[in-house]
Amino acid sequence: MTSDSRWHTTEYGTRGWRRRWSSTTDWGSIPTVLGLCGIWLIFWLANEKFLSPLNLTNLMLQIAALGTLAISVFLVLLLGEIDLSAGMVSGLCAAVMAVLNVKAGVPGPLAVLAGMLVGLGIGLFQGAWITKLHIPSFIVTLAGMIAWQGALLWVLGSTGTINLRDSFITGIAGTFFKEVWIGILLGAVLVIGYAALQFLDRRRRQTAGLPAASAQTLLVRVTLVAVMVCGALLVFYMDRGLPLAAVIFVGLVILIDWLTKRTIYGRHIYAVGGNAESARRAGIQVDRIRISVFMLASMIAAIAGVLAASRLLAVNQSSGSSDFLLNAIAATVIGGTSLFGGRGSAWSALLGALVIGSISNGMDLLAFESSLKFMITAAVLLAAVTIDAVTRRRREAVGR
């Protein structure tokens, strides 16, 4: 073997470097990020106001509720299941919150908590029905979607619409942190936390003898995250300030990402979604995992309903309906979560919501008809699902 060929086969050579990079880098979100950049470029060229601080801040406010519902969908998809009731659960829980606050005089924080507890109870009911009776989640949640829509109408009563005036509830979507130091502090915590987790993962992989990213690669990742955080903060503070709704949404993404990827419970979720029977033989309490995930997902759906109600300053008979759930499912899949279970990231909710929200926002600026908006969104979703299916088949073929 020549010295040149030895160079290409070592881990420091071209081929070795490629293998090392591929084994330590998650490529799942790369197409979505590139697609999002392309969408932003197209709409910016068509209308320069698209990338203005005002519009980008509004975009983040618009996708906060959608992205939060996408987190709920993500958790259920990890199990290889589907929840068709998530949208109506969000609307029903928001209605419970509104009725308690406006008609019963319950303080805003307690009303919000009550709405979340209703979501938790719905998740327990549906999750137990699916798990213990072995009924397909599609059927149970389809029935739930119809039932919770009826419950929404019953809770609202003859009023139909309840306007929200409580400062706590309306402040969830209406609060902007104008103090720059708050944004700097939160951004610094985010970047430092990300860097610490990346380097801890690298050390653990090295200790276990697994392929690990180089220090230079991690430095590039941390730098990119820092640049994106600084860019987002700059945009927000060029407008009205840092939106509380964005903090809640991104905070939920970070929390669920940590829960699913860095805890034993999260690893069990991926195991059950990948192969439930193998997970059961490995000693994992599959039924308990399934029920708890449905509970957590429904509670997060309730939070999405609260965010939507806070932004609209009202709850009505159409809350949680229309294309709310379909867009959340589309956002999760477009973001890179597999429909087949066992693969995905909570960040897919953020990326996918940005894609869906950007398409809708950009076409609104260009005064496109609703029919065209639906067709373009459907085309993006179909492309994402096709890529996911093709990638899965190739991965299975390589595994053989």
HEC-encoded secondary structure of 49-96 = HHHCHHHHHHHHHHHHHHHHHHHHHHHHHHCCCCCCCHHHHHHHHHHH
Whichever domain contains 132, its CATH number is 1.10.3470
Judge whether 209 lies within some domain: no
Structural domain count, the chain: 1
- Count Cα atoms within 13 angstroms, Cβ side, for 4: 0
Structure tokens at 385: 């699902």
Q: Are 14 and 8 in contact (CB under 8 A)?
A: yes
Judge whether 174 lies within some domain: yes
Q: What is the pLDDT along the chain (400 residues), one digit of tens a residue?
A: 444 443 343 333 444 434 443 443 444 567 778 888 888 999 999 988 999 999 999 999 999 999 999 999 999 999 989 999 999 999 999 999 999 999 999 999 999 999 999 999 999 999 999 999 999 999 999 999 999 999 999 999 887 889 999 999 999 999 999 999 999 999 999 999 888 888 888 888 888 888 877 888 888 888 988 999 999 999 999 999 999 999 999 999 999 999 998 899 999 999 999 888 899 999 999 999 999 999 999 999 999 999 999 999 999 998 888 788 988 998 898 888 877 777 888 888 899 899 889 988 988 888 887 778 778 878 877 877 777 667 666 765 655 5
Judge whether 206 lies within some domain: no
Domain interval for residue 319: 34-178+240-399
Note the pLDDT of residue 395: 62
Cα separation, 270 vs 278, in Å, equals 12
Judge whether 186 lies within some domain: no
Cα separation, 202 vs 220, in Å, equals 14
Structure tokens at 331: 């956002």
Structure tokens at 320: 């949680």
Is the full-model pTM beyond 0.85? yes
| Residue 318 amino acid letter | S
Judge whether 225 lies within some domain: no
Cα separation, 136 vs 144, in Å, equals 12
Judge whether 204 lies within some domain: no
CA 328 to chain centre: 8
Q: Are 305 and 169 in contact (CB under 8 A)?
A: no
Cα separation, 160 vs 39, in Å, equals 38
Judge whether 294 lies within some domain: yes
Judge whether 374 lies within some domain: yes
Q: Characterize 245-262 residue by residue with b for buried, 16 or more Cβ atoms within 10 angstroms of its Cβ, and e for exposed.
A: bbbbbbebbbebbeebee
